[in-house]
Amino acid sequence: MLPHYSPLKVAEIFRVLHALYPDRIDLGLGRAPGSDQKTSRALQPGPQAYGIDVFPQQVQLLQQFLEDAQGLKGDAGGLPVDHPYQGIHAVPRGPGMPDLWMLGSSSDGAAYAAQFGMPYCFAHFINQDAGPSPLEIYRKSFRPSRISSQPRGSIGVSVMVADTEEEAERQSASRNLWVLHLLQNKAGPFKSLDDALAFPLRPDEVQMLQSVKHRSITGTPEQVRGRLLQMGAEYGVDDFVILTITPDHEARKRSYELLAQAFDLKAAA
């Protein structure tokens, strides 16, 4: 949520992370405030608060600070010689930089990603109804850049994997109820699994809850793998960002473990 932050501050935080964990850090940039107007003002008080209208300038400045930290200059990147911030450096300085991704749940984010020539991650877990359209817009409008010479897409998906389909559904109860309440403008803390499963619902809410369940991919490793492969073909991506929400931390870890096994993924050395 870049509008809440100084580009220099973000550059320095991710320079530190990149120095600690080389080639393992991605930096995703989002434009949405993620809150109401009052909360947004509280997060960034003062006359120099960033509005979403200056988001493109923030992205450009962040990229320039990250490039400058590598010692890049001129056509290779970094701050122009006449830039008012010339001489200010994001530290620690050194080779390489995090991979930059544009995040979004609509065609707006896709357009920004294409404009800046950045990889684009579509938030399917937020906006399933958009379908592949944002990624299609992104690919058609993509401009090659110093960041990427060709379009690269990914989708963020809500997933819950368990040894049985029934257990996966049970572990999803808290998340599903929270989404239902979010749609009713009364979202609060996530409930325990027992409280979520026992929560009284009206007949119309039961119907809404069934619709909510379809927003997430839930099931056994084989079922989830099949649905993700199908979705990847539909959206034209082979990269997924997986969001798993359950109050049971061990079940959450187990979900990631089962998913990794289903795709024969190995831990980094």
CA nearest 258: which of 185, 186, 168? 168
Give, rounded to a whole angstrom, the gap between the first and last alpha carbons of the chain.
31
| Cα–Cα distance measured from residue 50 to residue 30, given in angstroms and rounded to the nearest whole number | 13
pLDDT of residue 212: 94
The structure tokens listed for 205 are 């809410």
pLDDT of residue 35: 67
Neighbours of 253 (CB within 10 A): 11
Quickly list H helices, the chain: 7-20, 37-43, 55-68, 107-116, 133-141, 165-171, 173-183, 193-198, 203-213, 221-235, 249-262
The structure tokens listed for 64 are 């320039």
pLDDT of residue 32: 78
Burial 168-199 (b: 16+ CB within 10 A, else e): bebbbbbbbbbbbbeeeeeeeebbebeebeee
87: Cβ contacts below 8 Å, ≥ 6 apart: none
Amino acid at 68: D
pLDDT of residue 126: 92
pLDDT of residue 76: 87
pLDDT of residue 3: 86
| Cα–Cα distance measured from residue 241 to residue 212, given in angstroms and rounded to the nearest whole number | 20
Domains of the chain plus CATH, in order, are 2-156 (3.20.20.30), 158-262 (no CATH)
Cα angle 103, 175, 124; round to 5: 25
Neighbours of 79 (CB within 10 A): 19
Q: What is the pTM of this model?
A: 0.89
| Cα–Cα distance measured from residue 46 to residue 50, given in angstroms and rounded to the nearest whole number | 10
| Cα–Cα distance measured from residue 40 to residue 46, given in angstroms and rounded to the nearest whole number | 12
pLDDT of residue 47: 57
pLDDT of residue 40: 72
* Backbone phi and psi for residue 18, each to the nearest 5 degrees, phi listed first: -65, -35
pLDDT of residue 67: 96
pLDDT in tens, 156-172: 999 999 999 999 999 99
CA nearest 80: which of 65, 95, 98, 91? 65
| Cα–Cα distance measured from residue 252 to residue 249, given in angstroms and rounded to the nearest whole number | 5
pLDDT of residue 50: 57
Residues of the chain with pLDDT under 70: 34-35, 44-52, 268-269
| Cα–Cα distance measured from residue 68 to residue 88, given in angstroms and rounded to the nearest whole number | 9
